Amino acid sequence: MYGSAQSLRAALETRKQAYALAVSCKEHVEVQGIRKRVDQVARNLAREDWQELSAGVGSKGPRLFAWARVELTASEISGWQHWLVVRRSLDEGAKPAETAYVLVFAPTDTSLEEMVEAFGARWTVEQCFEEAKGEVGLDEYEVRSWHGWYRRVTLSMLALAFLTALRANGEEDAHKKSLSKRPSHRSQKQPTLFNPTCLLISRSWFPSALPKSGGCSFVLSANRITLPPTT
């Protein structure tokens, strides 16, 4: 796990770059001057230390877990702090393997909710990469040089962002046409889920291709994007 790389954590802290990095249960941390394994720290948490929070929305709804955090030895950087964040399944009969440990470095006023949101973003990033593999061949390359790899990945993500913009625009047009045919007494259809990471890239690179309205109603297929028909 990346969080176990002390050199990586030190480099990020030098740059004052906040992070939330997963570590194994064998990782040691310093709590009130005493070094302990993270799983030992978690076992000593009281019931009132835990909060039920969502780590984002998944295909089956909010990803709800029990979360707790422990303040670690103070950072040498003023205004910043280290924490151990523990994530546990809400299932009382869950196995220890369903407990996750996260080392967090962030400004001292960062809330647990913000930490959970940041750590939960990994699922969105993973989903974006999976879509890129299936739709634009992100993983269909051989690494022979840094420049070649970088160009391939950049081109693939650019292509996915373009497809996302087209998809958003096409779904918005179809949604407007469908609303115009409905009786006025019927309620407007609620926006469906979308991949916010891909949409963020799309807004940056293709602002003119995206709908001008406040909402964006579209879904990226898990298998294949169906582009709107050309006229």
Query: In this predicted model, what pLDDT tens digit does every residue of 159-217 receive, in sequence order?
Result: 998 988 888 887 666 656 665 555 554 444 444 444 545 555 455 554 444 444 433 33
Domain total for the chain? 2
90 and 64 in contact (C-beta within 8 Å)? yes
107/182 same-domain check: no
Q: pTM of this prediction?
A: 0.61
Q: Which residues contact 79 (CB under 8 A, 6 or more apart)?
A: 107, 108
Q: Specify the DSSP class assigned to residue 202.
A: H
Look at residues 72, 92, 123 and tell me which one is the last residue of a structural domain: 123
In a domain, 229, yes or no: no
Residue keyed to tokens 């739709």: 135
Does 89 share its domain with 26?
Answer: yes
152 and 114 co-located in one domain: no
Give pLDDT tens digits for 133-164: 888 888 888 888 999 889 988 999 899 989 88
- The dihedral over CA atoms of 192, 198, 4, 34, expressed in degrees to the nearest 10, equals -50
Residues 115 and 167 in one domain: no
Whether residue 22 is found in the same domain as residue 114: yes
Mean pLDDT value across residues 70-77: 88
- Max CA distance (Å), the chain: 69
* Within a domain: 37: yes
Q: Is residue 176 situated within a structural domain?
A: yes
Both 119 and 36 in one domain: the answer is yes
Together in a domain, 42 and 152: no
Verify that 63 and 118 share a domain, yes or no: yes
Beta carbons within 8 Å of 220's beta carbon, 6+ residues apart: 131, 164, 167, 194, 195, 198
Structure-model confidence comparison of residues 16 and 121, the more confident one: 16
Is position 29 within any domain? yes
Q: Which domain holds residue 64?
A: 2-123
For residues 57-79, b (16+ Cβ closer than 10 Å) or e, as one string? eeeeeebebbbbbbebeeeeeee
Choose among 126, 112, 130: nearest CA to 54: 112
Residue 167 domain flag: yes
Cα 209 off chain centre by? 25
Q: Note whether 36 and 117 are same-domain residues.
A: yes
In a domain, 103, yes or no: yes
Listed in order, strand segments (DSSP E) in the chain are 19-23, 28-31, 34-37, 51-58, 61-71, 80-88, 100-107
